[in-house]
Amino acid sequence: MFSKKEIFSILSIALVLGTLVSLNAENVEAWQTFIFTSIGTILLVILINVIAKKIMAFFFDAEIEIKTWEFQRLITINPFSKRISGLKDSQKMKSKFPAGFFIPLIVKFISVGLVNWMACLTFEIKGTVYRTARRWQMYQYSEVTEDEMGWIAFIGIIANLLFAVLGYLINMPLFSKLNLVYAFFQVIPLGDLDGTKMFFGRQSLWWAAAIIASIGLVMSMVIV
């Protein structure tokens, strides 16, 4: 189900995010214990999101590859044409910027440790051979549509929200809180993150996810 590249991306991001979350510990002794718990918990949160998206992709006869968020040029959203636009090719950076690793560090520093940026992974999608062979009924084309990409991103966020509720019910506050915060950041329409895929794939899904995730973020603030 996971390639070596995907495993590396997931584990490295879990290590970065878990370490940053653990910095909120009150003292050195607490941090030494908490860092392993936070890394393990955020890894589980990421896996919940990723596995849910892979299952949804399978439903659409497609495959997704999880990768660390990178960008080579700035991406902007045109609210009138509802299209993604960027800089000209001549204005691109020479190499891709590993935003998934550095944005969480930058946000943590700028916010003086108050904000933990969680949107660090994205996905690429392609239709399977089986999908290409099916050229009737609902699968008239082999290409994966923006609408389907929106659904795949949406189901990952919903999975995190459902597990947040489960974590709260079984008295796992850290697990519940990180699921809520992770879901919120996945909604942000920036670059080629999940939020962008939903925003351009099906805006009704984006609005639903944004409202629910925002409520979840507020709830996470009262979870000890």
Which pLDDT band, with edges at 50, 70 and 90, does 184 fall under? Answer: very high
Given a contact cutoff of 8 angstroms between Cβ atoms, the answer to whether 27 and 7 are in contact is no
Rounded Cα distance between 194 and 101, Å, is 17
Q: Do 68 and 9 meet the contact criterion of CB atoms below 8 Å apart?
A: yes
Q: Which of 5-9, 86-90, 127-131, 218-222 has the lowest mean pLDDT?
A: 86-90
**Quick one: pLDDT band at residue 31, thresholds 50, 70, 90?**
confident
Output the pLDDT for position 107.
Answer: 93
Q: Which residue has the tokens 């955020």?
A: 42
Locate the domains of the chain by residue range. 4-220
Most confident of 59-73, 79-93, 202-216: 202-216
Read off φ and ψ for residue 65, nearest 5 degrees.
-120, 120
CA 33 → CA 38, 114, 185, distances in Å? 9, 20, 26
**What pTM was computed for the model?**
0.83
| pLDDT tier, 84 (very low <50, low <70, confident <90, very high otherwise) | very low
pLDDT value, residue 159: 97
For residue 138, how many C-alpha atoms fall within 13 Å in the half-sphere facing its CB?
Answer: 7
In this prediction, residues 49-67 reach a mean pLDDT of: 91
pLDDT at 1 exceeding the cut of 60: yes
For 128-148, b/e burial (b = at least 16 CB within 10 A) is: beebeeeeeeeeeebebeeeb
What pLDDT sits at residue 95? 65
Q: Dump strand ranges (E) for the chain.
A: 62-68, 75-78, 83-86, 121-127
Q: Is the pLDDT of residue 72 over 70?
A: no
Q: Alpha-carbon distance 214 to 185, whole Å?
A: 9
- 60: nearest Cα among 151, 122, 124: 151
pLDDT at 61: 82
CA torsion 155-214-85-73 (nearest 10°) is: -90
pLDDT at 142: 57
Identify the DSSP state of 71.
Answer: B
